[in-house]
Amino acid sequence: MVLILATLSFFAPTAFSADANVKRNDLNLAAVKASVVELKSGKPLFAKHDDWIAPIASLTKLMTALVVLESGQSLEEWVEIPKPDRETSKNAYSRMRITSQLKRKDLLRIALMSSENLAAYTLAQSYPGGVTAFVIQMNVKAHELGMLDSTFVDASGLSVGNVSTAADMIKLTKAVAAKKIIGEYSTTPVFTARFRKPRYVLGYGNTNSLVHSSRWQVELSKTGYITEAGRCLVMVSKIEGKEVAMVFLDSFGKRTPLGDAGRVKRWIATGSGGKISGLALQYEQDKSKHYPGLKNEKMQAQIK
Catalytically active residues are 58, 61, 115
Burial class of residue 41 (count of CB atoms within 10 Å of its CB; 0-12, 13-18, 19+)? exposed
Indicate the residue type of 205: G
CB atoms within 10 A of CB 242: 16
Element (H, E) at 45: strand 44-48
Closest CA to 208 of 161, 245, 259, 174: 259
Angle, CA of 39, 134 and 183, to the nearest 5°: 30
SS3 85: coil
Q: Is residue 198 reached through a cis peptide bond, with omega within 30 degrees of 0 on the bond before it?
A: yes
SS3 58: helix
CA 132 to CA 92: how far, in whole Å? 20
Element (H, E) at 143: helix 130-144
CB atoms within 10 A of CB 153: 16
CA 89 to CA 117: how far, in whole Å? 9
Rg (CA), the chain: 19
Enumerate residues 6+ apart whose C-beta is below 8 A from 288: 8, 11, 32, 49, 296
